[in-house]
Chains A and B, each alone.
Chain A
Amino acid sequence: MPMPAETDATSPKHLRDKYAIVGVGETTYMRGSGMTTRALGTLAVRNAIEDAGLKPSDVDGMLSYQSGDSTFSNFIAGDLGIRANFFMDVFGGGSSTEALVGMAMGLIEAGMCKVVVIFRAMNGFSQVRIGGTGARAVAPVSGDMLHSRAYGWQSAGQMFSPTFMRHMYDYGTRPEQVAAVKAIHSEHASNNPKAFYKERVSVAEVLASRIICKPLHLLDCCVETDNGTALVVTSAERARDCRHPRALIRGVVGRCSKPRLDMHYQHGPISTVAGQYAREILWPNAGVGPEDIDVTGSYDAFTFTTMLQLEDYGFCKKGEGGAYVSDGTIRLGGRRPNNTSGGHLCEGYTHGLNMVIENVRQLRHDADDSCPVGADGKRQHTYDYREGGCRQVKKCELTANMGWANPGTGSAMVMRRD
């Protein structure tokens, strides 16, 4: 895949390599956390700051995202003794992670703060169900929602499926091709001690699981879990003193959208997603193209979302996403593994943040798998990807995350190893 026009690998434009992710942290990915989102957020943020080798008092900025289902920055800051020079909690789920990293860069660049923590804390299984069941399913249908919820068109799977179906119609994409995403991510999860689902499943098992709404089988859908996740962003300069090799941010794009955000289906082709627009910002700003990327983190709320984004960001030709995700490319040991943690389909659901955490660890060459830890305290990676083994990608230098809100909106970020 040739790089898009205007790609320039040398100019230091758009803050390329000027900012870094220096700390990542999470709680256990679980069902029935038995704690508040405040507790989940506090523990995750504490872990991320500790991972960076910083103290809470070094942090002076905080960002979070949620949809009326979580605590706010001021409580987390209070719990950890952080005096903020800036904080903001934004509305939204998937695609927020990369967008907020870009905002953190802008905040620091503007001199408003120096070290920013971004967190997402959610009881996506035990409180506000991410699948849409529970309290949200019985809320009154009002105003603009009458054009969707009144038709039994409410959950993420229901809302996105017209795009998934139309892709099959337009390009002949087959169910077994898309099911390979789940099978492959489950292989990755089997090498991730943190993953909620560690069992490997086959394509046949995905296709034999019950239909939720066509074309989605149960196993085409992500897991619902309770968890807190966090990361720390600071300037590349400040990052030099931190504990780990820096994950330098090459380029970022946030909540890039198709036309008609009020109802994106009005503007086609509906088998195309926001990545078609976002890639025109991502690759030129990052100074690299899809061919240069070693590991992808294409959001897997559903098997289809991974495929659609990889295709529209240019990892394969338009319409060939089904072949790309099923030919072994995205598997550990393949040309360009995707979601090496198992992602939302297997590790846990965080609205995107754990996929960025995973790629930071890949760039540090420190994926937390079951490989033995050596005398220097570092894992001795075996690169044996059999069940229960290694999940570190050899010589990982460049990663791309592609966050998904819906077919009409996405975010993305390219990071490189220091």
Chain B
Amino acid sequence: MAIQSTYLDMPLDIGELDVENLAYFRHCAAHDFHLQRCSACSLVRYPPTTACPWCAAPKSEWVPVEGKGAVHSYTEVHHAIQPAFKAHTPYLILLVDLDTQKGQPTEHEALRVVGNLVTPDGNLAPKETVRSVGIGTRVRMVFADAGPGIALPHWTIDEGAAQPAKPWRYPQE
């Protein structure tokens, strides 16, 4: 069934034919991160696709994936484009290498999952927290509920993990 909802006052919309995205966000709504695993080559992929990016096989199954990893790169937005984000600057967009399948099938590949830096309860992180995160920071996934059948996966600092002494940050604060 199609999903229409709002998140930060943004209208969100997934059509009923878009079965991959519907399944992805349905798992997120249960706060249980799943990705597609190829039935032929067993590689897990992100974001959702119709066929396997490595072997082109169309058949896959949804499998639970641990939402833990390290920041691979990021941008810190000070001038928001979308009105929904204007009240939340500066905010971080993180590209996170999952520990699962990192360096596979080649050394340059990883499941790089996008999300904002948020508080443990899923709200966009305050300025002081934004300033503490950079490349190398260990993060764990949390979810922001966005209506029936949908939640967005996000990232929060992994309090239980060993953190780098000083994550890499853009030199001009």
Contact = CB atoms under 8 A, between A and B. Distances in A.
Interface of A: 131-133, 137-138, 140-144, 146-155, 158, 161-163, 165-166, 168-169, 174-175, 207, 210-215, 259-260, 262-263, 265-270
Q: Which 7 A-B pairs have the closest CB atoms?
A: A161-B75, A268-B108, A162-B73, A142-B13, A152-B85, A140-B11, A166-B73
Interface of B: 7, 10-15, 18, 21, 25, 46-47, 49, 53, 72-85, 88, 91, 93, 95, 106, 108-112, 114-116, 135, 146, 152, 168, 170-172
Contacts of A151: 93, 114-116, 152
Given A165-B73, A175-B171, A213 B13 contact: no
A169 B135 CA distance: 8
A166 B83 contact: no
Given A162-B74, A213-B79, 15 more contacts: A140-B11, A141-B12, A150-B7, A150-B146, A151-B116, A158-B75, A162-B72, A165-B73, A165-B75, A166-B73, A166-B135, A169-B135, A262-B47, A266-B46, A268-B109
Given A147-B114, A152-B85, A175-B172, A210 B79 contact: yes
Contact of A213 (B78, B110, B114): B78
Contacts of B72: 162, 166, 270
Q: Which residue of B25, B49, B80, B83 has the most chain A CB atoms within 10 A of its CB atom?
A: B80
A263 B114 CA distance: 11
Contacts of A150: 7, 10, 12, 146, 152
B82 A270 contact: no
Contacts of A131: 81
B49 A262 contact: yes
B135 A165 contact: yes
A214 B170 contact: yes
Contacts of A158: 75, 77, 81, 93
Given A151-B114, A265-B95, A213 B76 contact: yes
Nearest to A134: B81
Given A144-B47, A207-B172, A152 B93 contact: yes
B95 A162 contact: yes
A149 B73 contact: no
Contacts of B170: 165, 168, 175, 214-215
Given A140-B11, A168-B170, A214 B75 contact: yes
A270 B14 contact: no
Contacts of A152: 77, 80-82, 84-85, 88, 91, 93, 116
Nearest to A269: B108
A276 to B, nearest CB: 12
B44 to A, nearest CB: 11
B24 to A, nearest CB: 9
B152 to A, nearest CB: 6
Contact of A162 (B11, B46, B53, B75): B75
Contacts of A163: 73
Contacts of A259: 53
Contacts of A137: 81-83
23 contacts: A132-B81, A144-B21, A144-B47, A146-B14, A146-B152, A149-B82, A150-B12, A151-B115, A153-B114, A158-B77, A162-B72, A162-B74, A163-B73, A169-B73, A211-B78, A212-B77, A213-B77, A259-B53, A263-B47, A265-B112, A266-B109, A268-B110, A270-B95
A277 to B, nearest CB: 13
A175 to B, nearest CB: 6
Contact of A146 (B25, B91, B108): B25
